[in-house]
């Protein structure tokens, strides 16, 4: 009970603004792109969404930009809760902003470096489709993450609920990625070396570096 009281008294004011900001992003997505959002949230039928909007891939359109910001804020919340539970000194708004800034810089750098690498390897067309689908899955999962964190932050639910939420999110993420890699395995197996390099260098290493700079 003490954890719940401390969490709401010390953090609720600025965390409320963070949740409100993300809710505003979600509403803006729906209002600006009604049809696309309608197909987007049909998670069990993602194939239809990819068929209709896949041709746009990762172009910097407003839906992609807003969705990515929504995703990054939710991921920053996840990282904040993790550090807050494991290192009690990391519980301020300043720390959350630092996390968010580092994650955004890391993602932008990673994206630019990937685009450069894929262009040199002459696999840019394939990777655009692959990245578009991967990003779509991640934004869809982040909507569920947002709802779970909202329940956790503004209710009597305890740390066990948070841990369970994280497990659910991780399972969904891994399932979506495995499904994606399985679908494109015939193409990926001929570039196995690049795939291993991609997973180790661009999927895992950046987050290990992020953790090491904070913890």
Q: How do residues 96-137 score in pLDDT, each as one tens digit?
A: 999 999 999 888 888 887 777 677 766 666 677 778 888 889
d(CA 124, CA 102): 26
**pLDDT for position 123:** 65
Per cent of the chain over pLDDT 70 is: 76
Print the domain residue range for 151: 2-214
d(CA 7, CA 28): 29
Per DSSP, the residues of 59-119 read: ---HHHHHHHHHHHHHHHHHHHHHHHHH-TT--SHHHHHHHHHHHHHHHHHHHHHHHHHHH
Q: Which residues contact 57 (CB under 8 A, 6 or more apart)?
A: 128, 129, 131, 132
Q: How far is the first Cα of the chain from the last one, in angstroms, to the nearest whole number?
A: 27
Confidence of residue 77 (pLDDT cuts 50, 70, 90): very high
pLDDT, average across residues 183-191: 66
pLDDT, average across residues 133-155: 90
Query: Domains in the chain: how many in total?
Result: 1
């Amino acid at each position: 009970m003490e954890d719940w009281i401390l969490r709401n008294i010390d953090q609720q004011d600025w965390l409320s603004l963070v949740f409100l900001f993300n809710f505003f992003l979600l509403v803006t997505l729906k209002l600006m792109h009604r049809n696309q959002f309608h197909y987007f949230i049909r998670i069990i039928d993602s194939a239809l969404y990819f068929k209709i909007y896949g041709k746009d891939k990762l172009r910097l359109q407003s839906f992609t930009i807003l969705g990515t910001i929504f995703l990054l804020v939710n991921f920053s919340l996840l990282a904040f809760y993790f550090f807050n539970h494991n290192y009690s000194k990391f519980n301020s708004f300043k720390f959350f902003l630092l996390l968010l800034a580092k994650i955004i810089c890391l993602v932008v750098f990673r994206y630019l470096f990937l685009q450069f690498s894929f262009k040199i390897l002459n696999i840019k067309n394939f990777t655009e489709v692959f990245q578009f689908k991967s990003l779509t899955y991640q934004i869809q999962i982040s909507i569920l993450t947002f709802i779970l964190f909202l329940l956790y932050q503004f209710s009597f639910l305890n740390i066990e609920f948070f841990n369970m939420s994280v497990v659910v999110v991780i399972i969904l993420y891994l399932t979506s990625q495995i499904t994606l890699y399985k679908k494109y395995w015939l193409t990926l197996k001929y570039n196995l070396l690049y795939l291993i390099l991609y997973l180790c260098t661009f999927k895992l290493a950046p987050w290990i570096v992020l953790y090491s700079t904070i913890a």
